Structure 1
Amino acid sequence: MFQVAAPLNTRVAKNVILFLGDGMSVATLAATRTYLGNRHGYSGEELKLSFEAFPYTGLAKTYCVDNNVADSACSGTAYLSGVKANSGTVGLSGAVRKGDCEAQRTGKHSVTGVMDWAQRVGKATGVVTTTRVTHATPAAAYAHSADRRWESDADVPAGVHCEDIASQLVRGSVGSKIDVVLGGGRRNFYPDTEKDTDGVSGHRKDKKNLIKEWMKKKESLGAKPKYVHDKKGLMKLNETQFNSVLGLFSSEHMPYHLEANEDVYPTLTEMTLKAIDVLKKKKEGFFLFVEGGRIDTAHHETKARKALDETAELAKAVEAAMKEVDPEDTLIVVTSDHSHTMTYNGYSKRGSDILGFVNKQNASDSLPYTTLSYATGPGYKTNDNNYLRHNLLDDDLSSANYTYPSLFPLGRETHGGEDVAVFARGPWAHLFTGNYEQNYLPHALAFAACIGDGFTACNSQYSF
Structure 2
Amino acid sequence: LHIDPFFTGTVTTHSSNAPIGDSAPTGSAYATGVLQKTSNVAIYPEADPENDLYPVDAARTYQPAATLLEAAKLLKNKAVGLVVTCEFPHATPADFSSHYHTRSAYKFIAPQMAYQNMDVMFGGGNSILTDDIRQHFKNNGTVLIQDDRNALLNYNGDGKVWALFGERALPYSIDRNPDNVPSLAEMTAKALDLLSKKEAGFFLMVEGSQVDWAAHANDAVGMITEYLDFDDAVGEVMKFAEKDGNTAVIIMSDHGNSGFTIGSRDCPGYDKLSIQQLF
What's the TM-score, normalizing by structure 2? Answer: 0.86
Residue 309 of structure 1 corresponds to which residue in structure 2?
A: 225
Residue 266 of structure 2 corresponds to which residue in structure 1?
A: 411
**Would you say the 8 A contact 2:62–2:100 is kept in 1?**
no
> Using the alignment, how far apart are the partners of 1:271 and 1:96 within structure 2?
39
SS of 1:125 mapped into structure 2: strand
Residue 189 of structure 2 corresponds to which residue in structure 1?
A: 273
The equivalent position to 2:81 in structure 1, one of 106, 126, 141, is 126
SS of 2:205 mapped into structure 1: strand
Q: In the TM superposition, what are the counterparts of 1:439-454 in structure 2 within 5 Å?
A: none
Q: Which runs of 5+ in 1 are unaligned?
A: 1-48, 98-105, 153-163, 191-207, 220-224, 343-373, 376-405, 415-464
CA RMSD in angstroms comes to 2.0
Residue 300 of structure 1 corresponds to which residue in structure 2?
A: 216
Give 1 or 2: higher helix fraction: 2
Q: Match for 1:114: what amino acid?
A: L
Residue 110 of structure 1 corresponds to which residue in structure 2?
A: 64
Give 1 or 2: higher strand fraction: 1
Shift of 1:214: 2.1
Residue 451 of structure 1 corresponds to which residue in structure 2?
A: none
> Using the alignment, how far apart are the partners of 1:85 and 1:259 within structure 2?
35
Q: Match for 2:11: what amino acid?
A: A
* C-alpha distance 107-143 of structure 1, shift in aligned 2 (>3 A): farther
Shift of 1:137: 0.5
**Would you say the 8 A contact 1:73–1:88 is kept in 2?**
yes
**Would you say the 8 A contact 1:96–1:146 is kept in 2?**
no
Residue 38 of structure 2 corresponds to which residue in structure 1?
A: 87
> Using the alignment, how far apart are the partners of 1:184 and 1:65 within structure 2?
30
* C-alpha distance 270-332 of structure 1, shift in aligned 2 (>3 A): same
Q: In the TM superposition, what are the counterparts of 1:218-257 in structure 2 within 5 Å?
A: 218-219=140-141, 225-229=142-146, 230-238=148-156, 241-257=157-173
Residue 438 of structure 1 corresponds to which residue in structure 2?
A: none
Residue 179 of structure 1 corresponds to which residue in structure 2?
A: 119
> Using the alignment, how far apart are the partners of 2:41 and 2:210 within structure 1?
19
Shift of 1:96: 6.4
Deviation per residue, 1:419-459 (Å, 9 max, x gap):
xxxxxxxxxxxxxxxxxxxxxxxxxxxxxxxxxxxxxxxxx
**Would you say the 8 A contact 2:188–2:206 is kept in 1?**
yes
Residue 69 of structure 1 corresponds to which residue in structure 2?
A: 20
Shift of 1:242: 3.0
Residue 168 of structure 1 corresponds to which residue in structure 2?
A: 112
Greater Rg over alpha carbons, structure: 1
Residue 3 of structure 2 corresponds to which residue in structure 1?
A: 51
**Would you say the 8 A contact 1:126–1:180 is kept in 2?**
yes
The equivalent position to 1:334 in structure 2, one of 242, 248, 251, is 251
Tell me, yes or no, if structure 1 residue 284 matches structure 2 residue 197: no
> Using the alignment, how far apart are the partners of 2:220 and 2:201 within structure 1?
38
SS of 1:117 mapped into structure 2: helix
SS of 1:68 mapped into structure 2: coil
Q: Match for 1:290: what amino acid?
A: V
Residue 98 of structure 2 corresponds to which residue in structure 1?
A: 143
What's the TM-score, normalizing by structure 1? Answer: 0.53
Q: In the TM superposition, what are the counterparts of 1:287-436 in structure 2 within 5 Å?
A: 287-325=203-241, 326=243, 328-342=245-259, 374-375=260-261, 406=262, 408-411=263-266
* C-alpha distance 108-63 of structure 1, shift in aligned 2 (>3 A): closer
**Would you say the 8 A contact 1:302–1:413 is kept in 2?**
no
* C-alpha distance 226-302 of structure 1, shift in aligned 2 (>3 A): same
Shift of 1:286: 0.5
Q: Which runs of 5+ in 2 are unaligned?
A: 49-59, 270-279
Shift of 1:327: 5.7
> Using the alignment, how far apart are the partners of 1:283 and 1:242 within structure 2?
12
SS of 1:246 mapped into structure 2: strand
Shift of 1:81: 0.8
> Using the alignment, how far apart are the partners of 1:181 and 1:323 within structure 2?
21
Equivalent pairs: percent with the same residue? Answer: 30
**Would you say the 8 A contact 2:86–2:169 is kept in 1?**
yes
Q: Match for 1:410: what amino acid?
A: R
Residue 51 of structure 2 corresponds to which residue in structure 1?
A: none
Shift of 1:332: 0.5
Residue 215 of structure 1 corresponds to which residue in structure 2?
A: 138
* C-alpha distance 122-286 of structure 1, shift in aligned 2 (>3 A): same
| Higher RCO structure (Cα 8 Å, ≥6 apart) | 1
Shift of 1:110: 0.9
Shift of 1:107: 8.6
Residue 201 of structure 1 corresponds to which residue in structure 2?
A: none
> Using the alignment, how far apart are the partners of 2:134 and 2:192 within structure 1?
22
Shift of 1:108: 6.2
> Using the alignment, how far apart are the partners of 1:227 and 1:209 within structure 2?
14
SS of 2:252 mapped into structure 1: strand
**Would you say the 8 A contact 2:83–2:205 is kept in 1?**
yes
Shift of 1:170: 1.8
Shift of 1:113: 1.5
Size of the aligned set, in residue pairs, is: 255
